[in-house]
Amino acid sequence: MDYALALLSGVLLTLSFPKFGHPAFAWVALAPLLASVLLPGAAARRSALRAWTLGLITGFTYFAGTIYWTADVLASYGGLQRLVSVLLAALLVAYLALYPALFALIVARVAARLSMAAACLTAPAIWVATEWLRGVLLTGFPWVLLGYSQTDVLPVAQLASVTGVYGLSALVAASGAAVTWVMCTRRARAWGAVGGVGLVVGLVAFWGRARIAADEWTAKGTPLTVGIVQGNVPQDQKWDPEHAAQIFDRYLRMSRRVVQDGAKLVVWPESSTPFRLEEDRLGRRLIGEIAAAGGASMLIGSSEVARTTAAPPRYYNSAFMVSPVASGSTPVYRKMHLVPFGEYVPLRRMLFFARPLVEGVGDFTPGDALGLLPVGGHRVSTAICYEIIFPPLVQEAVARGSELLTTITNDAWYGYSSAPYQHFEQARLRSIEQGRYLVRAANTGVSGIVDPYGRVVVRTRLFQTEVVVRDVRLIEERTLYSRVGDVFAYACLLLTGLMVVLVRPRRGGKRRRG
């Protein structure tokens, strides 16, 4: 029965995220796992190994259901046999499952050494601590954090402007913990916890609705008309020399169109040029002519190489800001958070069984500076591909003066899977956190514009050739979260550390029950 409950939690977590899920599932998703660990009938067998195993079951189901698309990407574009791609994807899922397992282990220890009430009360903080660790260890992979399940529930999602995504994760986890407490004890104080969580959620939603209704952030700052170019280039044509001229011509034609419609900032997707921009004079000149003719800045995703005589060349995934006024140099941002197995291969020598993937992935170099890009006397920032799911990176850009968030990506790898939808929803939350408009250009979609409340101004369809022209605002004011960052997550980490110290195994110690 315990294993079935752990499995159910994993299923509910999966069903909490796009594209097939609904955010309502998230509010009870952790309850089955917590019940399997905390039910009175499980007290006698509340061993560390059992709690760890239950957490692994939940975690493996959770991530197998949400990032299943990694196997297809490795097979289709990594050149791997299906069995090998499934194995590598399973290894990633198994690694990510360690974090829910750690959560279950700590909660079980708190219940065994302190009380069930203490376990339920601290479970939200423990969950946030494990999510934060998942976002930083081994370069981090903060995909499908629990708080992202509520991005589309805008009144509740406004909490992110204060606490970031981790505050949403804690709120949702608190709901599951309160339900578990009732399931396990049926005591009056447990029902009081449910009522307390319900009251907090209600107050957050009421405040969030009022915040959206006030609509103050969309009246701040300076207006700017932006254009998004979604070229819809198939992945198998992207680097084919036979299609290079056709691809570039498509982007030029679409850019002329958005400039004619009044765009003063034109955004191309990640790696959109079929050449290295800094090495192709003709390409730079043609882009510069469009920028000069329309008085528009153009943000261009392109690979870059830095060559020196003293060292091997270094390759970067970059974004260039082409100014409407000719200048000696083009401002550039170099991607800092590289994608494992996409832009570099960790443990390359050990992955002999994945030789096609290892040989097919070039070693990009991470950028070493978070630079802002100029647009007509203002400053904007960009996040390339999955950099947008790292809140501290975006928060630092705003702290340095970014007035507009942009993100460029190529999600063609993921087909019609859940990945493009998950990616877009996670990017939306950065707008709420930072109080900024977000402009997102994706090669095959989903492209779009999001306002500072997380409302989608416009979004494109997948695998369609489209342009978008809309007005945004360049904003200087900052939200509380943009000022203090992940202080809430650090507090949860501190509380979790305290719990670990309090419940660490002691020789000759006695258990307390409650």
The verdict on whether 385 is a catalytic residue reads yes
Say whether both 188 and 270 belong to one domain: no
Is 123 a domain residue? yes
DSSP state of 418: S
Say whether both 318 and 369 belong to one domain: yes
Transcribe 15-43 into DSSP letters: TTSTTT--GGGHHHHTHHHHHHHH-GGGG
Is 510 a domain residue? no
Residue 42 has pLDDT above 70, yes or no: no
Q: How far apart are CA 379 and CA 369, in angstroms?
A: 15
Q: How far apart are CA 40 and CA 185, in angstroms?
A: 8
Q: How far apart are CA 179 and CA 28, in angstroms?
A: 7
Task: Tell me the backbone φ, ψ of residue 364, rounded to 5 degrees.
Answer: -80, 155
Say whether both 322 and 202 belong to one domain: no
Interval 67-97: pLDDT, tens: 999 998 888 766 678 888 899 899 999 999 9
Q: How far apart are CA 334 and CA 302, in angstroms?
A: 10
The single residue of 304, 385, 387, 425 carrying the catalytic annotation is 385
Is 481 a domain residue? no
Please name the residue ranges forming H helices in 39-68: 48-66
Q: Environment class of residue 20 by beta-carbon count within 10 Å: exposed (0-12), middle (13-18) or buried (19+)?
A: exposed
Is 513 a domain residue? no
Q: What is the pLDDT of residue 357?
A: 59
User: Which helix (DSSP H) or strand (DSSP E) does residue 405 occupy?
Assistant: strand 405-409
Say whether both 366 and 398 belong to one domain: yes
The verdict on whether 220 is a catalytic residue reads no
Torsion sign (Cα): 159, 165, 169, 170: negative
The verdict on whether 270 is a catalytic residue reads yes
CATH at residue 285: 3.60.110.10
Kindly state the tokens that stand for 503.
């419940």
Is 134 a domain residue? yes
Domain that includes residue 498, residue range: 2-215+486-503
Say whether both 492 and 442 belong to one domain: no
Interval 99-109: pLDDT, tens: 999 999 999 99
Residue 341 has pLDDT above 80, yes or no: no
Task: Tell me the backbone φ, ψ of residue 22, rounded to 5 degrees.
Answer: -140, 140
Say whether both 138 and 227 belong to one domain: no
Say whether both 359 and 405 belong to one domain: yes
Say whether both 77 and 201 belong to one domain: yes
Domains identified in the chain, total number = 2
Is 334 a domain residue? yes
The single residue of 131, 304, 335, 403 carrying the catalytic annotation is 335
The partner residues of 318 in beta bridges, in order of sequence, read: 302, 334
- The model's pTM is 0.94
**Which of the residue ranges 160-169, 175-184, 324-333 would you say has the lowest mean pLDDT?**
324-333
Q: In what order do the strands lie in the sheet with 438-442?
A: 373-375, 378-384, 405-409, 438-442, 448-450, 456-459
Q: What is the pLDDT of residue 513?
A: 47
Say whether both 268 and 414 belong to one domain: yes
User: Which helix (DSSP H) or strand (DSSP E) does residue 373 occupy?
Assistant: strand 373-375
Say whether both 61 and 197 belong to one domain: yes
Say whether both 291 and 345 belong to one domain: yes
Say whether both 373 and 249 belong to one domain: yes
The single residue of 131, 270, 343, 425 carrying the catalytic annotation is 270
Q: What is the mean pLDDT of residues 226-242?
A: 94
Interval 304-315: pLDDT, tens: 998 887 888 999
Is 511 a domain residue? no
Is 96 a domain residue? yes
Residue 444 has pLDDT above 90, yes or no: yes
